[in-house]
Amino acid sequence: MTTAVVILAAGKGTRMKSRLPKVLHPLAGRPMIAYSLDLARAVGDLPPVVIVGYQAEKVKAAVGAEVTFVEQTEQLGTGHAVMQAEPALAGRADIVMVFAADMPLITPETLQRLRQAHTTHHATITMLSVIADDPRGFGRVVRDDDGRALAIVEEIEATEAQKAIRELNAGVYCFDAGWLWPALKRLRPSPRKGEYYLTDLVGLAVADGRRVEVVTTDTPEEVLGVNTRVHLAEAEAVVRARKNRALMRSGVTILDPDATYIQPQVQVGQDTTIWPGAVLRGETRVGKGCVIGPHAVLTDVTVEDGVVIGASVVATGCHFPNDAVIPPGAVLNA
């Protein structure tokens, strides 16, 4: 079955308090939306469809090619945003997966699990949920006495009883494409905000007698939505921790992972030791058996095997041959 991915990236992100569109804020050296595009390409069979709106041209320029852009000229909610994708996808996909560009921590494995559940159960909608004590503005998953999902209620529309629900809608969905496009036309504006909520499709599917499945992630950090600079810093910490753990599992010694900053694209060979305070950025490549001293800052640097880099070295675009010794405090450029 053909899967298409729709990425919601039209919002302004007012809580970021920035002139820059929220989805372009850097996260570990890359625009936030780059993580969503990686996910879309990992699970989708067609070029990702990116819904743009606020500063659309700037977002398009940052994203580049191999993407289908669709513009949402009015910000009328998530349901309205997905409506705009119909001309680009109708008749081309069996499954439409939807998620927002401000959720950079979801893993490909979780999305693959979501799609597998969708196809295995022949569902009309399969959505991702999370159990959390901090609702953080998420919609609540309302179930019946038998545990079947009945609806998603947005927090702003929820009753006090519904606000007490701790199963939250993560905002990631698989839809049966044949049902989705006509169903979107049945959405009505919400009473309070006048927006078309994608979440209302769950209630429509239940009313139609359709199957709605829920997959619950065991990792709440995955569904962190970045809406403020505080959230951005939290996401940065997760990305950094994931990278450091992956390197340590591969045979790299990081003496103090909490005090070491290594961007996701960086490669480090086995038996290299990295001291606290080191910063490795961009396309840096470090070979085997190296020592990266405390507070060294390497940007787009190639380090061959057996190199010793002293404390507080700052290097950009350099190439260090096998067994080179770079003295402490050196400032080097290509």
Residue 228 per-residue DSSP state: S
Task: Compute the CA torsion angle 92, 210, 193, 128 (nearest 10 deg).
Answer: -80
**Token pair in block for residue 282:** 């961009």
Alpha helix locations (H) across 24-107?
32-43, 56-63, 78-83, 86-89
Cα–Cα distance, 34 to 40 (Å, whole number): 10
Cα–Cα distance, 114 to 110 (Å, whole number): 6
Cα–Cα distance, 78 to 80 (Å, whole number): 5
Closest CA to 319 of 300, 292, 306, 294: 300
Task: Compute the CA torsion angle 234, 239, 242, 246 (nearest 10 deg).
Answer: -160
Q: What is the mean pLDDT of each run of 10 residues along the chain (334 residues)?
A: 97 93 96 97 97 96 93 94 97 97 96 98 97 84 91 89 92 98 96 91 96 94 94 97 98 98 98 99 98 99 99 98 98 94
Instruction: Give the β-pairing of 125-131 and 167-176.
Output: antiparallel
Please give the positions annotated as active site. 15
Residue 130, classified by CB atoms within 10 Å of its CB into exposed (0-12), middle (13-18) or buried (19+), is buried
pLDDT at 133: 83
Task: Phi first, then psi: give them for residue 326, nearest 5 degrees.
Answer: -105, 120
Residue 153, H or E segment = strand 149-153
Is residue 249 within 8 Å of 268, Cβ to Cβ?
no
pLDDT at 137: 78
Task: Phi first, then psi: give them for residue 298, nearest 5 degrees.
Answer: -115, 125
* Residues in Cβ contact with 24 at an 8 Å cutoff, skipping those fewer than 6 apart: 31, 32, 33, 58, 59, 62
CATH of 3-223, one of 2.60.120.560, 3.50.50.60, 3.90.550.10, 3.20.10.10: 3.90.550.10
Closest CA to 297 of 310, 334, 245: 310
Is residue 62 within 8 Å of 182, Cβ to Cβ?
no
pLDDT at 154: 86
Closest CA to 106 of 200, 35, 195: 35
pLDDT at 121: 96
**Token pair in block for residue 45:** 């069979």
The residue ranges of every structural domain in the chain are 3-223, 250-333
In single-letter form, the type of residue at position 327 comes to: P
CATH of 250-333, one of 1.10.600.10, 3.40.50.1820, 1.20.1740.10, 2.160.10.10: 2.160.10.10
Is residue 79 within 8 Å of 197, Cβ to Cβ?
yes
Cα–Cα distance, 233 to 18 (Å, whole number): 15
Cα–Cα distance, 184 to 170 (Å, whole number): 20
pLDDT at 12: 87
Cα–Cα distance, 281 to 264 (Å, whole number): 8
Burial letters 67-102, b for 16+ CB under 10 A, else e: bebbebeeebbbbbbbbbbbebbeeebebbbbbbbb
pLDDT at 199: 93
Total-model pTM = 0.93
Cα–Cα distance, 34 to 198 (Å, whole number): 23
